[in-house]
Amino acid sequence: MRFRSGVAAIASMTCVSALHAQTRPAVPLPRTEIHELAAKSNGQSYRISVSLPESYAQNPTARYPAIYVTDADWVFGITAQTQYLLRLDNAVPDALVVGISRSGPTDVNIVGAVRSFDLSPTRDLGAEKIYLNRYKRETPTGGAAAFLRVFLDELIPDIERTYRTNGDRTYIGYSLGGLFGAYALFQSPDTFGRMILVSPSLMWDDDTMLKQEAAYAAGHKQLHVRLFMSAGEFETPEMVSDMRTMANALTAHYPGVELSTKIFEGERHLSTFPVAVTRGLKIVFAEKPKT
């Protein structure tokens, strides 16, 4: 079993006293709405955050791309604000940013445990032992199939009914979220036309995702997606090497893939997301050269 930490442990730090924390209001992100989704597909409840572009209210007939990001408790704010700044620089189009995370407490141990189930495609008993020690609770794995159904049957249809989207969908996943993105790519290849997979945990369960890619390639010769994959220079060797192996396989097997990869110098697992989402958004939304 080859398994290394996806998100090892994201430390929670506070710089205000308990009294201030009780009396000072939370600071909301501009133009952001929050909904609850009670998913029928897997019986779980999810917090859905939607960041709207500035032009959304000003142009009531305009329709927009939608960018979906998992692990919203940790990376939704970074993603939404990065997209906003890049839009000011005309590097990306106006878009909705949709974050999904489990409803309930945001304690790192609880979030870490439930995401390990939703984002992993197979059950990995070795990983469960590691997570039991890390999160101090039972942590089942292998729930990605049901979570993908939440996306396909409930989340995406609800967003596209509620908001003025144009069918152009992007997926952003970090660590186990990157693993889930690769799983979604082979299980439902037409769902997302663009993908950004940051530090994807492709080494999960003895490289199960590399095996799934090989199985997919045996029956398919095309995969139409604009894909950016990245890792930090100081990630585990398995994470970097498996990302490169996946990139080589995609390039060899599918002529339609538009693929870019990057190893970010000086970055570790917990520092790479901000630089990766900036680079990734610019790449997947770059204008195609005119022919």
For the chain, 291 residues long, the average pLDDT of each consecutive 10-residue run is 38 36 72 96 96 95 98 96 97 98 91 95 96 92 98 98 98 98 98 98 97 97 96 97 98 96 97 98 87 54
Query: Is residue 20 included in any domain, yes or no?
Result: no
Say how far apart CA 107 and CA 53 lie, in whole Å.
29
Q: Is 23 within the bounds of a domain?
A: no
Q: Is 283 left (phi over 0), alpha (psi -120 to 50) or beta?
A: alpha
- How confident is the model at residue 27, as a pLDDT? 79
Give the whole-angstrom CA distance, residue 268 versus residue 199.
10
pLDDT score, position 255: 92
Q: CA separation (Å) from 175 to 75, 168, 179, 197?
A: 11, 24, 7, 8
Identify whether 142 is part of a domain. yes
Predicted structure pTM score: 0.90
Write down the residue that tokens 């908001």 correspond to: 163
Burial class of residue 81, CB neighbours in 10 A (0-12, 13-18, 19+): middle
Helices (H), 150-236: 156-162, 176-187, 204-219
Q: What is the pLDDT of residue 13?
A: 31
In a domain, 273, yes or no: yes
Tokens found for residue 199: 């530090």
Question: For residue 9, what are its two tokens?
Answer: 């442990």
Tally the domains of the chain. Answer: 1
- Return the SS3 of 131: helix
Residue 157 is assigned to a structural domain of this protein:
yes
The domain that contains 64 carries what CATH number?
A: 3.40.50.1820
Question: What is the model's pLDDT at position 4?
Answer: 40
Identify the pLDDT of residue 22. 52
What is the structure's pLDDT at 290?
59
Instruction: Provide the domain limits for residue 225.
Output: 32-284
Residue 15 lies in a domain: no
Q: Is residue 11 in some structural domain?
A: no
Q: Which pLDDT score, from 0 to 100, does residue 288 have?
A: 77
Q: Is residue 187 a part of any domain in this protein?
A: yes
C-alpha 160/C-alpha 74 separation (Å) is: 24
